Amino acid sequence: GQNIDQPTEMTATEGAIVQINCTYQTSGFNGLFWYQQHAGEAPTFLSYNVLDGLEEKGRFSSFLSRSKGYSYLLLKELQMKDSASYLCALMDSNYQLIWGAGTKLIIKP
């Protein structure tokens, strides 16, 4: 079967760095995704990793290790607007997305 785990909630300080981890088990893998969802709003795409390594996009970076079934989203220079839920999702062998429950990130001044 398939399973995705990510922490339920994390707290960080404005200006700091935070790493949100995601671990998964799957029989078929076609990519790992991160989405951001502000409360009461729709999810929006952040990143897509299909090969091992780090993908950097401004203040956000995403890392993938397929052999370990592990990914993380790294947020630098945290801003209050980064307070949101961060959703990890994997694309299975049928090219469908399997979603984690999301990590609620609380940013404190």
Using CB under 8 A as the criterion, which residues of the chain lie in contact with other proteins when the complex forms?
4, 30-31, 33, 35, 41-45, 48, 50, 87, 89, 91, 95-102
SS3 55: strand
Whose Cβ is closer to other proteins: residue 78's or residue 85's? 85
- Residue placing its CB nearer to other proteins in the complex, 63 or 78: 63
Is 6 within 8 Å of 16 (Cβ atoms)?
no
Given a contact cutoff of 8 angstroms between Cβ atoms, the answer to whether 19 and 76 are in contact is no
Output the smallest distance, CB 15 to other proteins, in A. Answer: 29
Q: How far is the CB of 1 from other proteins (least distance, A)?
A: 12
Kindly report the length of the chain. Answer: 109
d(CA 28, CA 95): 9
Q: Shortest Cβ distance from residue 13 to other proteins (Å)?
A: 26
Pairing verdict, β 70-75 and 53-57 = unpaired
Closest to other proteins by CB, 78 vs 87, is 87
